[in-house]
Chain A
Amino acid sequence: MTAVLELEAIEVAGRSRPRLDGVCLRLEAGERVALLGPSGAGKSTLLAVANGLIAPHRGRLRWQGRERARSRRARRLQQSRIGTLWQDLRLIEELSVQQNLNAGRLGQWGWPRALLNLLLPLESGACAAVLRRLDLDPALLDQPVSALSGGQRQRVALGRLLRQEPMLLLADEPLASLDPRLAGELLELLLQEGRAPRALLLSLHRPDLLAGFDRVLGLRQGRMRFDLPRQAVTTAVLADLYGAALP
């Protein structure tokens, strides 16, 4: 079976020391993996490599068994299979919820439909279905995203990701700025959407939220300290990762 994401001896140079140093990782379909590590460990860099934003200086990288495509068209197709939930969400504030959800489809659509979507938002049915799946009211479709609450915005961002229909879900500390209740709800949704045939890789700064994950990675100073099934992650393992005190 081909892995959804494969990293082999990835190295990303930094100013004083490498931001990633010999990182290996294999993510199979259906795996939901948490990435832990102290600040500056290289979690964001690893996710940026995984979604193609940063090209590694050394090492090999494969998405669904294929290396980075050469041609522009193939490259875009490859990117459209990788979905990222950004910490700042990166919603388009001036557009409606529906137009934002549809932004996930633009890669497949091309110009005429992309322009039409700005005039008359398209595929209302599919967008409403996504909202329902995320437990949001489809009446929100016409609202500008700037009018939504923080929790609703998180879900719309996730909805845009679902419209994109990616194989790999990436999220960089998506829970960092949320209150405990919202964080719990969003995590549950992410874990639910990260099931097979997809794979989920999510960076976290809270080791207390590991319950739903299958595997946990520990990153420290750009190096992979551990790659363990969730059950094997003990307090001792975490203490070793973060230094003496647990956050």
Chain B
Amino acid sequence: MSTVGAGQRAGGAFSGWWRPAAPLWVLLPALVLLPLLVLLPGLSHGGGWSLLAQFGLAALRPSLDPLVLGSAVRGLGVTVGMALLGWALSLALGLVLGLASSRLVWQRCSGRLWPAQLIRRLLALPRSIHELLWGLILLQLVGLKPAVAVLAIAIPFAALVARVLSDQLDALPTARVEALEAAGVPAPAALLTALGPALLPQVLSYGGYRLECALRSATLLGVFGLGGLGTELRLTLQSLAFEELWTGLWLLLAVMLALEGLVGWLRRRWTMPTRLSIGPQPVTRGESSMGRSGRELLLAAALLVPLLVLVAWSLEVEPGSLLNWQPLPPLPPPDWRALAALPWPALVGNTLSLTLLAAALAVGLAPLLLLLVRPWPLGRATLQGLWALGRLWPPPLIALLLLLVLQPGVVTGALALALHNLGVLGRLLLESAEHRGEAGEQALLCSGNGPRLALLYGRFSALARPYLAYGAYRADVILRESVVVGLVGATGLGSQLLEALSAFAADELAALMLAYALLTVLGEELSDRLRRRLLAG
């Protein structure tokens, strides 16, 4: 046994100060609550508390008028249909683009790497522009048609799917491909045989998650007038018809929970990875048996095709209609001086602070609330309900609701985004907390610790890295999404973009979109690095 010098031990103690332990990391983002609590009283105008109370009460007595119900059901049908079509299209496109942007595929099939890099770079543009912007631009170009929303969802989603697919593909071990190629198997067949089975569960799991996203996006597009239930939600909210609003919301909640339940069930049945492994550094768990699930999968795919055709037919989606462009007003030459006069630093600064505030709130509140309710018998169910409501509400609707009591601005926009993303993150945390660290928590409980401390030390230790890595990904999503709360005003690039769109100031629109795309690409790179560091641990 050796003795340790005092200096060495003091050094150890010092290292503790600048390196807080894993469970604390999870709680640190919640520190953003402190400045927020100081700011909020100054931002509230107090006029709308009674309206907010009316809104809350209306949840208990939604309108059951057959007319209201009928229109909500029709709207919901359109939203679900748009989501389904946009999702299917994005998966098909994403698969092709994903293979086309994979370094491994190009290297094995042609020996060159640059085409993969090029396609990957090009895909950054459609990916960095939110589906809402795609929708509004297409709306200007071809007019209000059902196909617009479908395509608006499909474009960024396809680019996202392509990126995740190619990242996962390139991260897989290649020894098996090499073994097959050495035996004279052509490259495409070798890739398919060696990597297909390992890739499939991850792609399917991600695909299921994208379907949930597509439903949220389709609702959101509706809020901006692209049809479906979202339009009704916004109209009923703006006319303060809260009972009718809740009719639509409860219906949407039922569909959303049913969809999430179905996706989760399939994921378990086909033994696919959970969502915490989403990202460019996948946990390779390709050992699942593909026998029964393979057959079921084929059956599901075979059933999906006629379903999609039926949905497209009933929504009257005509892909050909996208080719008929509306006559555009003559575009004036770009006014460079006006463009340069835009308050760029403020726009970018507001967008970034909006994103960081929203991300910190969403990432920090989920574990904090979980700790808070841990000892309560109904705590888990309460949180599940709260988080389902958060996911259900498109952020612009939350923002409109917040405007009843808060002044417009960055904080209000951030709160709206945070509440929505809290729904996503909170559910993820709850689900993954059930899979990780149960033994550690139990050991702590058995030695006389309270349930909160046992959760903090026992489970959050193991969860910290993957959860924060997912949080980094979420921050990236929030940055892209910050445009959707632009209508709350004074919230950076988003609101300026929406203004430019409605005025159809083409030069300003192009400049703003470019700036936005650049910012999201940078943000993506940053969040990727952070995530890789967290997961490499």
**Which residues of A come within 8 Å of B, CB atoms?**
51-53, 72, 76-84, 86, 88, 90-96, 99, 103-104, 106-107, 111, 114-115, 118-121, 124, 132, 135-139, 141-142, 161, 164, 166
Instruction: Name which of B350-358, B440-448, B475-483 contacts chain A.
Output: B440-448
CB distance from A51 to the nearest CB of B (A): 5
In-complex Cβ contact of B16 among A51, A94, A121 (8 A): A121
User: Known contacts A137-B1, A139-B2, A139-B8; is A84 also within 8 Å of B457 by CB?
Assistant: no
Other CB < 8 Å A-B pairs besides A106-B457, A115-B24, 5 of them?
A: A81-B448, A90-B439, A94-B461, A132-B1, A138-B3
B12–A142 CB distance below 8 A:
yes
Contact among B12, B22, B452, B457 for A103, CB-based, below 8 A: B457
Beta-carbon contacts of B1-45 to A below 8 Å, as 1s and 0s?
A: 111100011001101110011111000000000000000000000
Given A92-B440, A92-B458, A94-B21: A77 and B12 interface contact (C-beta under 8 Å): no
Interface residues in B126-142 by Cβ distance below 8 A to A read none
Nearest CB to that of A75 among chain B residues?
B448
- A84 to B465: give the CA distance in the assembly, Å: 28
Are A124's CB and B9's CB within 8 A? Answer: yes
Q: Are the CB atoms of A76 and B448 closer together than 8 Å?
A: yes
A79 and B21 within 8 A (CB): no
Complex Cα–Cα for A149 and B473 (A): 35
Which 6 A-B pairs give the minimum distances between C-beta atoms?
A80-B448, A79-B448, A107-B448, A142-B12, A90-B443, A94-B22
Give the docked Cα–Cα distance between A166 and B23 (Å).
Answer: 26
Residue contact A79 to B22, C-beta cutoff 8 Å: no
Q: Which of B2, B446, B461 contacts A82 (CB 8 A)?
A: B446
The CA-CA distance from A99 to B20 in the complex, in Å, is 11
In the complex, how many angstroms separate the beta carbon of A58 from the nearest chain B beta carbon?
22
Contact A120/B16 with A104-B447, A114-B456 known, Cβ cut-off 8 Å: yes
B453 within 8 A of A: yes
Contacts of B15 in A (CB 8 A): 142
How far apart are A105's CB and chain B's nearest CB, in angstroms?
A: 10
The answer to whether B462 has its CB under 8 Å from any CB of chain A is: yes
B12/A94 in contact, CB under 8 A: no
The answer to whether B447 and A119 touch across the interface, beta carbons within 8 angstroms, is no
The reply to whether B23 and A118 form a contact with Cβ atoms under 8 Å apart is: yes
Residues of A contacting B448 with CB < 8 Å?
Answer: 76-82, 107, 164
* Residues A118 and B21 in contact, CB atoms below 8 Å apart: yes
A91 CB to nearest B CB, Å: 8
B238 beta carbon closer than 8 Å to chain A: no
Contacts of A161 in B (CB 8 A): 447
CA distance A82 to B440 in the complex (A): 16
Measured CA separation A86–B447 after assembly (Å): 11
Given contacts A84-B446, A94-B461, A94-B462, are A111 and B453 in contact (CB under 8 A)?
yes
Q: Say whether B442 contacts A103, CB under 8 Å.
A: no
| Interchain Cβ contacts within 8 Å, total number | 110
CB proximity of B25 to chain A, nearest CB, Å = 9
A103:B2 contact, CB within 8 angstroms? no
Shortest distance between the CB of B263 and any CB in chain A (Å): 30
CA distance A132 to B456 in the complex (A): 28
CB of B22 within 8 A of CB of A84, answer no
For the complex formed, measure the closest distance between the CB of A6 and the CB atoms of chain B, giving whole angstroms: 19
Check B196 for interface membership: any CB of A closer than 8 A: no
Name B447's contact: one of A82, A88, A137 (CB within 8 Å).
A82
* Cα A181 to Cα B444 with chains together (Å): 29
A114 touches B457 (CB 8 A): yes
Within the complex, the shortest CB–CB distance from B443 to chain A, in Å, comes to 4
In the bound complex, do residue B439 and residue A86 qualify as a contact, i.e. CB atoms below 8 Å apart? yes
What 1/0 flags go to B422-445 for Cβ under 8 Å of A?
000000000000000001101111
User: B447 and A83: CB pair below 8 A?
Assistant: yes
B450 at the interface (CB under 8 A from A): yes
Q: How far is the CA of A188 from the CA of B455 in the complex (A)?
A: 33
Quick one: closest A residue to B456, CB to CB? A114
Which of A51, A92, A107, A137 gathers most chain B CB within 10 Å? A92
Chain A, residue nearest B15 (CB): A142
A104 to B444, CA, bound (A): 8
Within the assembled complex, what's the spacing in Å between the Cα atoms of A81 and B447? 7
Tell yes or no: B464 within 8 A of A by CB: yes
Q: Contact at A90–B440, with CB atoms within 8 Å?
A: yes
Interfacial chain A residues near B457, Cβ < 8 Å: 92, 95, 103, 106, 114
A139:B439 contact, CB within 8 angstroms: no
Residue of A nearest to B14 (CB): A120
Whether B449 is near chain A, meaning CB under 8 Å from some CB there, is yes
Name the A residues within 8 Å of B12 (CB-CB): 141-142
Shortest CB distance A167–B (Å): 12
Q: Cβ of B447 and Cβ of A79 under 8 Å apart?
A: yes
Smallest CB gap from B452: residue in A:
A111
Q: Known contacts A79-B448, A94-B22, A106-B453: does B461 contact A139 (CB below 8 Å)?
A: no
For A88, the chain B residues whose CB sits under 8 A away are 439
Cα A152 to Cα B458 with chains together (Å): 20
Q: Specify which of B2, B16, B445, B446 is in contact with A119 (CB 8 Å cutoff).
A: B16
> Do residues B461 and A93 form an inter-chain contact, with CB atoms below 8 A?
yes
Query: B4 near A139 (CB under 8 angstroms)?
Result: yes
Q: How near does chain B come to A56, taking the closest CB pair, in angstroms? A: 16
B382 to chain A, nearest CB (A): 20
In whole angstroms, what is the CA distance A35 to B24 when docked?
40
Question: Contacts of B440 on A, CB cut-off 8 Å?
Answer: 90-92
What are 5 A-B residue pairs whose CB atoms fall within 8 Å in the complex? A82-B447, A84-B446, A92-B462, A111-B452, A164-B448
Beta-carbon contact of A52 and B17 below 8 Å:
no
Contact residues in B for A86 (Cβ distance below 8 Å) = 439, 443
A119 to B21, CA, bound (A): 6
B459: min CB distance to chain A, Å = 10
**Shortest distance in angstroms between B100's beta carbon and chain A's nearest beta carbon?**
40
Considering only residues 64-84 of chain B, those with a C-beta below 8 Å from chain A are: none
Name A161's closest neighbour in chain B (CB-CB).
Answer: B447
Verify B21–A137 contact, CB threshold 8 A.
no
